[in-house]
Every structure is written in structure tokens, then in C-alpha cells.
A = this chain, B = another copy of it.
Amino acid sequence: MYREGVSEPRALLEGAFRAAVAAVDPDVAIRPHLPDPPSGRIVIVGAGKAAASMAAACEAHYAELGTALTGVVVTRYGHGAPTKSVRVLEASHPVPDAAGVAATDEILGAVAAAGRDDHVVVLLSGGGSALLCAPAEGVTLEAKRSVTDALLRSGATIDDMNVVRRHLSRSKGGRLARLAAPAPLTALVISDVVGDDLATIASGPTVPDPTTFADALDVLDAYGIADEAVRRVLRDGADGGREETPKPGDPLLEHCRTILVATNETALAAAAEHLRRGGYVPHTLSATIVGEARDVGALLGSVSERVWRLGEPFSAPCALLSGGETTVQVRGSGRGGRNGEAALGFALSLPAEAPVWALFADTDGIDGTEENAGAFVTPMLLRTLDRRSARAALRANDAYGVFADAGHLLLTGPTRTNVNDLRIVLVSEGSRVRGGAA
């Protein structure tokens, strides 16, 4: 049942990760939520790194029902996938480009052309905010980018930035959905935003926007952003010279629903179920853990240590699960994504005899810019780790090398979906540590 030389807990971890990814696979996640066939056509639009696979899942579903279908989606360069009648366009992410603007024009056109008898299906996933890019009249792509950059540098939060971005766009903040009327619209969302706020995912093209042009000006004032061209547009809007984003209760959004079809919680629940069947009682600490990767790893290590030493706050054997998205402050020039760094921080926080296995991985199958999805920590790794050189590797942001040398990488290839990070720790009883297999 298990690969030779690989311990049962390590195989269980990998199985839990694959179960989690399967639960957020576009095909599995979307089908139960697709609207009934309309008398007219299904019009598919979408944006995000999973747009092509989401579109393919829709096509397969409606092909079985014989429903007329058309559409266009935009995904990241290299993320295309074969579809039949939906056109898949590619554009730049995370920095938007002209191809993204052109693709978004096509998408908005397709939505606006939908009739009363059609049904618009909007497919949103991670990266949608950059890929769905339609600068408002009088705003250049360059101006949008430079305002966003200036806000970022000033320490603005994602919420603050989105207030501004929604008011410099023809698609964000519910504007795309308003174009669909009178056609009904169903938006299906795979969330890569910690906390799953619908107004943040792809900047909320299908949900009402409670904020105003005046709020956007306030944000620029608060952070001292001077850009005059952008301010003119926002002032014009605040003075009534431009149409506001649709507000909660807007009648034109009554025909719209937006459904979260796959989130970090979905993945955590599937992993937990897999682990339970494998004999480990699962405890999910949080789906929204953020923070510096190595610190998050060390903290999970300290909780794990308490479990096997004292049986608190959970008794062993058990599994500690968490999700969210950590960050890495890059200081060195090494290789390694946030999950590798978190895993190394975790390993370095534990003594050599810890009866602990762990897998920290990105559900999109790509940890940072490497070819691995994540990294394993095993008792063998803990016993054999050269801690001084591992600490040096962590200082150089080179966690990848440590796990590569130890044969402790998880390799899955791109999964074509993304609900952020999954961290699973298996804690055995201290006296029950099993043999040396990694």
C-alpha cells in the first residue's frame, strides 16, 4: 500500500494532502452549484489561475445536458487548458498587462450581450483581481498600477487598496454583475483569500460594494497619495459625474448570486476526514493563520511538543491542522517557498527525538517559485538534521535545499486549483515513536 522506504505516517500525510486538493478540484467543487440549463444559452466568463479548468468542468457538465454554451475566460500565461467552446485567453499576473485589459473587454462584452433567456456563469479564482483588469474611463493601466504601488509602499491594507481599485475599474466591486441584467448570473468562487471575503476575491466583480468614491479619496488622503489624474477621476465620481459601484440592495444585482464553492476550510475538512480514517484524531486550529512563515512553523512546533510531552491541549496520537497563507521576508538569495520555510522553522523548534511528522504545502502544487508543493518533516529528518547548517539555510531563505537533500520534498505538479496553504502535523505518543523510516 505504501511506497517502499516511506513510513506509514508520511504516506498518510501525502494522502491527506491529495484528498484536500481533490476536494477543491474545480470539477468536484463546481458541479453541485451549476445553475439549471436556461431556455437560452449558458454564457461562461471568468478570471483566475483556475479559470481554464473551471471552464472545462462547466463545459463537461452542460455538454451532458445538451445546453447551448458560449464564453471567454482569462487565465495566467501558461495556465491555459483545452476547452471546446469557451475561449481561453492568457494574460500577465500578478502585474496586469494589455493582454489582460483586452481579455477583460471581451469578457465585459460577453456579459453585456447576455439576454433575458441566458444565464451568465462567472468563474473566479486566485489571480482574478489582476487578470480581470478594466481601467475606468480616463484612467490608464499605468496610473492604476502606480497608485496601487504607492499604497502598498505606504503600508495600506488590502481592504484600503480595494476601496480605491473598485472605483478605478469597470469590472470590480459588482460592476461586472450589473452588466449582466436582465440575464441571471451565478458566480462560483474558488477562494485563495484568507478569510474568504467575497468583496476581496478578484476584487468582488459580482458582489455589491458598500464603499464610495468619497471613501476612495479618503484612502488616498490618509496615505498621502497625490496622483492628480486618479484623484480627478475619483472627485468626478464623488461629485456625481460617474456611476457609483452597485450598493447592497441594488435591484440590478437581485438576479445575481455568488457562491464560495471551494475554500481553505473545504480542503481542511477533507484532510481531517482522511486523517481520522488513518487513526489520528484531527484538530483544526485555524483556517486563517498568517504571519512570517518560520515563526508560524515554530509556533506549531511548540504546540506539538506540548501534545506529546503533556497530552495538552490534545492527547496524542492526533493531527493538528491549519490553513491560511504565511509570508516570507526575503533576506537571502536561496531557494524555497513559504511552506518550506515554515516547515524548517517547525523542524528547528523541535528536539531530535520529537515523535512528529508534518507536511506543509501549497494547495496549488507550487511552493513559491519552486517545483515542489511543500515539504515533509519526519522523525528521521529531525534526528539527522545538521541544525547549524539548517539555521544558516533558513537565514539565506534556502529551505528548499535542506528538504531536497533529505528527500523530503512533496512533488505534485500544478494542481490547477488554489485555496492557499495546508499544514498538517501528526503527533504520536512520546513512548510510541516508531522506527527510522522517513
Contact = CB atoms under 8 A, between A and B. Distances in A.
Specify how many copies of this chain sit in the oligomer.
2
Contact of A388 (B222, B289, B312): B222
B285 A313 contact: yes
A331 to B, nearest CB: 11
B295 A292 contact: yes
Nearest to A313: B283
Contacts of A335: none
The number of chain A residues touching the other chain, given as a range, is 20 to 34
A292 B289 contact: no
A388 B160 CA distance: 9
Contact of A296 (B299, B312, B388, B395): B299
A291 interface: yes
Nearest to A323: B302
A291 B292 contact: yes
B298 A290 contact: yes
Given A155-B391, A296-B299, A288 B305 contact: yes
B306 A395 contact: no
B324 A302 contact: yes
Contact of A284 (B298, B313, B391, B392): B313
A217 to B, nearest CB: 15
Given A222-B388, A313-B314, A314-B313, A289 B299 contact: yes
A199 interface: no
Given A287-B306, A388-B222, A295 B298 contact: no
6 contacts: A155-B395, A222-B388, A285-B302, A290-B298, A291-B296, A295-B296
Given A286-B302, A290-B295, A295-B295, 10 more contacts: A160-B388, A284-B312, A285-B302, A285-B303, A286-B299, A288-B305, A288-B306, A291-B292, A295-B296, A313-B313
Report the 9 A-B pairs with minimum CB-CB distance, sorted nearest first. Answer: A291-B295, A286-B302, A283-B313, A288-B302, A286-B303, A286-B306, A285-B303, A295-B295, A289-B302
Interface of A: 155, 157, 160, 222, 283-292, 295-296, 298-299, 302-303, 305-306, 312-314, 324, 388, 391-392, 395
